[in-house]
Amino acid sequence: MLDPRFPAPDAYLLYPIKNAKPVKEGKLSLDQVAIHAKDVKTLVIELERPTPYFLQILASSVFLPIKTDKDQSMPNWATQPEQIISNGPFTLKSWKFNQEMIFEKNPHYHRASQVQLGHVFIDIIEREMAVLHMYANGYFDLVGSPLSFFPCELIDDLEKRKFLSFYPVANTKFLAFNTASSPFHNTQIRRAFAYAIHRKALIDHITRFNEKEALNIIPPVLFSESIAYFSDGDFSKAKECFQKGLEELQIKDLGKVVFMYVANERNHTLAQALQQMWLTVLGVHVELQQVEFKTLHERSAQGDFSIGLFAWVADYGDPMNILERFTDKSNHRNYPKWENGHYNRLIEMAHQGAGQPQYLEKLKKAEGFLIEEMPLTCLFHENYTFLIQPYVKGFAVSPLGHIYFDQITIEP
């Protein structure tokens, strides 16, 4: 991941390691990364500075081990199911693309005796309603996000909604403003668009899956002391900021503003609601533009958008994972392409915290400044939502959205 020739956009997750960043930038040789094997069972990693969340990073996917000789002899092993080696509780038995995946219990897993499931079958079916009928007829034991989505018929039926189970995760839906071009290079205009949104109304009437309105940046599952930095649907403040923005820009209207989002039914309904809010509160007509997922990210990287609808899931269980993205506008997850010297100093001060309380206090200051500058505005912190058959026991979802199938049992 740290080889400058290897395309790894998430290599920045390794930057707490001494020399990792200059090595990735080609300023030092690869053998100067401060990682070495002390002996056959001891890996030594030297850090650039105190990093309270480093154990969280060690548990993330960037540190999953790969068998060296396999990687060298078969560099395309990841696209060949029969070549994939796993050290987890299950191994991949078969994979029929766009049809099914079958996993079987790994007898070599270090806690194999505690794994009750012999197999996990995943069916890939496009039609949401068909999945729901198959679940009702007992074909599926488990249905839900992020594995699958629910049809609107279920969302609208309050009686059926009682069967749903909700799990809060570090997953946030948000809007990114293109701070590199007009009119969203202006802070007051960004604030106006953010304050004009009534998030509770979006949750109650559109998403309806017990989401938490986001008047902050960090999901509550990562930050126990979540703060509401502004009022939801503060229309008077939105209008005030809008007028200030127009005066600062010395214009009478914004011209063409395009809102880009990935094409699906839920996003389209959400976009229409936001479009109406901005028209009602600010008098601005925003043009809606549906795109493919790949196009959304390509155009955001090129700065070819006004407003974009995005979502993130934290890679590791610490607020820094979200906040550090905005210290560098070249980071591929810094969709607004925003960078600020004062903000970077706040993040640097957090890294220098003497202990956990001071560290978290400094992160709150950084989050508050990010809200003040508003290069993005969060809509809601999401839940993973599941239908679970009553005989399925031990099902759980981690704050990062991981499902631990090794802990599931099936009662007769």
SS3 33: coil
Give the pLDDT mean for 39-47. 95
Residue 265 binned pLDDT confidence (cut-offs 50, 70, 90): confident
Find, among 67, 65, 64, the residue nearest to 75 by Cα: 67
Give the pLDDT mean for 303-327. 93
DSSP codes joined into one string, 58-90: HTSGGG----HHHHHH-TTGGG-GGG----SSE
Give the pLDDT mean for 358-363. 88
> Residue 189 corresponds to which amino acid?
I
CA distance 335 to 108: 42
CATH assignment of 9-79?
A: 3.90.76.10
Provide the pLDDT for residue 77.
86
Token digits of residue 197: 């949104």
Provide the pLDDT for residue 354.
61
Whether 153 has a pLDDT exceeding 90, the answer reads: no
Token digits of residue 282: 């600010």
Residue 232 binned pLDDT confidence (cut-offs 50, 70, 90): very high
Provide the pLDDT for residue 86.
79
SS3 277: helix
DSSP codes joined into one string, 107-135: TTSTTGGG---SEEEEE--S-HHHHHHHH
Whether 125 has a pLDDT exceeding 60, the answer reads: yes
Token digits of residue 401: 């959205």
Paired sense of beta strands 100-105 and 119-123, if any: antiparallel
Whether 151 has a pLDDT exceeding 90, the answer reads: no
Do residues 155 and 401 lie in contact, with contact meaning Cβ atoms separated by under 8 Å? Answer: no
Q: Of 172-181, 355-364, 369-378, 392-401, give the lowest mean pLDDT range.
A: 355-364
Q: What is the DSSP letter of 209?
A: S
What kind of fold does domain 168-383 have according to CATH?
A: Dipeptide-binding Protein; domain 3 (3.10.105)
Which has more pLDDT, 151 or 55? 55
Provide the pLDDT for residue 335.
95
CA distance 27 to 10: 18
Provide the pLDDT for residue 259.
97
Is 81-161+385-410 assigned to CATH 3.30.70.270? no
Whether 301 has a pLDDT exceeding 60, the answer reads: yes
For a pLDDT cut of 90, what percent of the chain falls above it? Answer: 68
Residue 114 binned pLDDT confidence (cut-offs 50, 70, 90): very high
Number of Cβ within a 10 Å radius of residue 306? 21
SS3 410: strand
Provide the pLDDT for residue 79.
81
Provide the pLDDT for residue 353.
65
The dihedrals phi and psi of 119, each to the nearest 5 degrees, come to: -145, 155
Is the N-terminal amide bond of 183 cis, ω within 30° of 0? yes
SS3 144: strand
Give the pLDDT mean for 286-308. 94
Give the pLDDT mean for 347-352. 88
The dihedrals phi and psi of 249, each to the nearest 5 degrees, come to: -85, -10
- Angle, helices 235-249 vs 265-282, to 10°: value is 70
Give the pLDDT mean for 385-406. 92
Token digits of residue 249: 């820009």
Whether 355 has a pLDDT exceeding 90, the answer reads: no
Q: Of 155-164, 231-240, 246-255, 303-312, give the lowest mean pLDDT range.
A: 155-164
Instruction: Give the rounded distance of the alpha carbon of 12 from its chain centre.
Output: 16
Residue 142's alpha-carbon distances to 34, 154, 165, 238, 296, in angstroms, are 44, 16, 11, 43, 31
Give the pLDDT mean for 14-22. 95
Q: What is the DSSP letter of 381?
A: E
Whether 159 has a pLDDT exceeding 70, the answer reads: no
The dihedrals phi and psi of 198, each to the nearest 5 degrees, come to: -100, 95
Whether 152 has a pLDDT exceeding 90, the answer reads: no
Provide the pLDDT for residue 158.
54
DSSP lists the bridge partners of residue 46 as none
Give the pLDDT mean for 21-33. 96
Instruction: Give the rounded distance of the alpha carbon of 355 from its chain centre.
Output: 27
Residue 240 binned pLDDT confidence (cut-offs 50, 70, 90): very high
- Average model confidence (pLDDT) across the chain: 91
Give the pLDDT mean for 86-110. 92
Give the pLDDT mean for 213-228. 90
Provide the pLDDT for residue 197.
98
Find, among 233, 229, 231, the residue nearest to 277 by Cα: 233
Give the pLDDT mean for 182-200. 97
Compute the radius of gyration of the chain from its Cα atoms: 23
Backbone CA torsion sign across 274, 276, 280, 284: positive
- Domains of the chain by residue range: 9-79, 81-161+385-410, 168-383
Task: State pTM to two decimals.
Answer: 0.86
